[in-house]
Chains A and B, each alone.
Chain A
Amino acid sequence: MQSKRVGSYKGSVHILVVEDEQKMAKALQEGLEADDYSVRVAHTGEEGFYLVQAQRFDLVILDVMLPGHDGFEILATLRKRGIKTPVLLLTSRDAIEDRVRGLDTGADDYLVKPFAFPELLARTRVLLRRGRPDVSQRLKLADLEMDVAQRSVVRGGQQIELTHREFELLEYLLANQGRVVSREMLARDIWKETARQTPLDNVIDAQIVRLRRKLDGHFERKLLHTVRGVGFVLREEDES
């Protein structure tokens, strides 16, 4: 396994998953591999620690609750040794103190279990891309085109009128085209809602219905799909 800089194709991006739960580790590995990352799994903190020192990874996904040395300790030791690999912490504790502690210890991001997988993928992308913001003024999918600066959306040569929120929603979906976007991600990124308890699911669903009506209503080829139990995806082929 050779390591390169974050390259143009994902297969060369190496991610280390440190997770003691076999099922979780397997799910993470398969999920990330399905997204074309090269994944290595460590089942104990010590193994993970050894691997990070032995070879180069572009990202470490580190579970906090590990037998023996916990995630915080591993992270602290890594940072002390000057290893700057981005670290995404996973925890089942939603305590603010934990969050603060994690970030203070040197974690780059923090995800509370249970999380939606698309969310993990999104965070992973952000961490790998960090420092190279991907600003695109024109977004395109099939016959759908968005000009962010002009705030105009055209499909099949037809102008589509969108409200401010619908535009933001579509922009987000377009930027993530082909990838499933969860309701939590939409709540946080579009509705700027940080409290997980806020009952936004109905609102998001209604907004999606609206957007779909405007976007796909008059077209044979549907672009906006609902992935039951997970979220929504904007893509060309009709899979579900």
Chain B
Amino acid sequence: MRLRPTHLRTRLTLWYVSVLASLLILAWGGTCALLFWQLRSQLDHFSVQEIETVEGLFFFTPDGQLRLREDYHNHPESKEVIERFLEVRSPDGAVLFRNDRLGNRELGESPFQGEGVGGYSERSARLSDGTRVRLVSRIHTLEGHHLLIRLAHSEEPLFSRLNDLLLASLLVLPLVLVVAGIAGYGLARRALSPIEQMARRAQEISPERLSARLPNDQADDELGQLARVFNDTLARLEQAFEQLRRFTSDASHELRTPLAMIRSVGEVGLQKDGTREDYRDIIGSMLEEVNRLTSLIDNLLTISRADSGHIQLHRVVVPIMALAREAAGLFEILLEEKSLRLVLEGDERAQVAGDCLFLRQALVNILHNAVKYSPVGETIFVLVRNGDTNQITIEIQDSGPGIPLEDQARVFDRFYRVDKARWRESGGAGLGLSIAKWAVEAHGGSIGLESAPGRGCSFRIILPSAGTVTIKSCQGDPGDCLDRK
């Protein structure tokens, strides 16, 4: 983790330098080409002017030799004329004249069709000794003879200047790149320093120190965004960890309570001599605690499997009314014992694509709660509504003592019990509602509670509706959807 920013910094710098180098080379090359082209066209222009001047200086000697008037040399610009290469040929290619500078060298190949007619045929060529020249041609008529005048200037100075330029750039470019590289490295380092800082801080984060947060999450740039995303993740992790920690400590407390009882009952039982009856009673009492422990562990296992996402829902179409009727049927005897009335009303067509087992578990747990806390002779309502927003609402209302406002938010928390002193006689370890909540949420639904002290509880489960299709239902025999396990 610590090496990475360095790598990135180097990589950035390398990228930067190579991009800069290619841009510079491109720009330099472009400039050179442009310069060369301009100089050459200037040369052409100059040659054209000169060829026009030279045309008037040719004459034939009486013996038919072509000569160039030499007095022209007195003119100041004569120097230019001397530096040029000049050759005159007849249209059939015979050399009529070569100036001193050209000597015996050929200026271009044999004349080609249309050379120097109506223009100057500018082109590059090489002398026989390899000198690069820029050549123009012109057909001139003197005393009835067609003369092909070729005039050229050496391109060598042009190339040597170009070479100088390239040499200069070859010296300067690396220097520029080195400077740019150093500057770029510094910049990259500066830009990445928050990341390094964040990395250092992130390294300090451990399960014990999850409260630490990354710096510069206030910044509006990409790094700030990164820090914010990271911090959000940390916050969620911290919450999950906190939950886990509380869960573990609650769980061990819950496990310890029955264990303490088993131990005490056993130890006290051993201390005194008892009758056979007494011992039976002691063992029975210990076994009761063992049963409590067993069911607690069963519940914990369910929860841990749910938490780790190992539970897969086997979805079928579940008619809610049938499911509720079946779940309520389970408590029939308890209802009778307490003279409770259970009213189940709602839309028979309401159905959910869900796992019978877990949906039933959710309903059973909430109903169990309602039955447990309802005073004798009251009524429990189970209302199923098939809303038009593709949602099914199941409301379970009791007329129990209700739940104080400050406890309502935590009712679905694990191990949470409103009446902490009385839970043992009413049974359960405060896991039923949290399992119900998990089951409902695993189906993409939600569960909520409305309650006021003395006015009972109303649990509301909202589940996504399965429409009216029927694939397979668990209506009728409840074992149908339970046998699977």
Contact = CB atoms under 8 A, between A and B. Distances in A.
Contacts of B280: 228, 240
A232 to B, nearest CB: 12
Nearest to A204: B333
Given A114-B294, A194-B485, A202-B334, 9 more contacts: A195-B357, A195-B482, A196-B298, A197-B298, A197-B361, A198-B364, A199-B365, A207-B333, A228-B284
A99 B249 CA distance: 30
Nearest to A165: B333
A195 B361 contact: yes
B2 to A, nearest CB: 42
A51 to B, nearest CB: 31
A103 B124 CA distance: 95
A227 interface: yes
Contacts of A240: 277, 280
B183 interface: no
26 contacts: A183-B291, A191-B330, A192-B477, A193-B482, A194-B483, A194-B485, A195-B357, A195-B361, A195-B482, A196-B298, A197-B299, A197-B435, A198-B364, A199-B427, A200-B330, A202-B427, A203-B331, A206-B337, A210-B333, A227-B284, A228-B280, A228-B284, A228-B288, A229-B285, A229-B286, A229-B291
Contacts of B482: 192-195
B331 A96 contact: no
A199 B428 contact: yes
B290 to A, nearest CB: 7
A116 to B, nearest CB: 8
B478 A192 contact: yes
Contacts of B330: 191, 193, 198, 200, 203
Nearest to A112: B298
Nearest to B289: A229
Query: Range of interface residues on chain A?
Result: 20 to 34
Contacts of B302: 197
Contacts, number: 74
Contacts of A230: 284, 287
Contacts of B331: 203
Contacts of B427: 199, 201-202
Nearest to A117: B287
Given A207-B333, A240-B280, A229 B290 contact: yes
A19 B336 CA distance: 46
A207 B335 CA distance: 11
B295 interface: yes
B288 A229 contact: yes
Which of A195, A199, A203 has the most C-beta atoms of chain B within 10 angstroms of its own C-beta?
Answer: A199
A220 interface: no
Most chain A CB within 10 A, of B291, B302, B331, B333, is at: B333
Contacts of A199: 364-365, 368, 427-428, 432
A192 to B, nearest CB: 4
Interface in A200-237: 200-203, 206-207, 210, 227-230
Contact of B333 (A203, A227, A229): A203
Of A192, A228, A230, A240, most buried by chain B (CB within 10 Å of CB) is A228
Contacts of B485: 96, 194-195
Nearest first, the 5 closest Cβ-Cβ pairs linking A and B are A229-B287, A228-B284, A229-B284, A192-B479, A229-B288
B284 A203 contact: no
Interface string A169-193: 0000000000000010000000111
A230 B285 CA distance: 10
A161 to B, nearest CB: 15
B281 interface: yes
A193 to B, nearest CB: 7
Contacts of A203: 330-331, 333-334
A134 interface: no
Contacts of B478: 192
Contacts of A196: 295, 298
A114 B288 contact: no
Residue from B283, B337, B427, B428 whose CB has the most chain A CB atoms within 10 Å: B337
B34 interface: no
B191 interface: no
Contacts of A195: 357, 361, 482, 485
Contacts of B165: none
Contacts of B281: 228
Contacts of A165: 333
Nearest to A113: B294
Contacts of B285: 228-229
A114 B298 CA distance: 10
Nearest to B428: A199
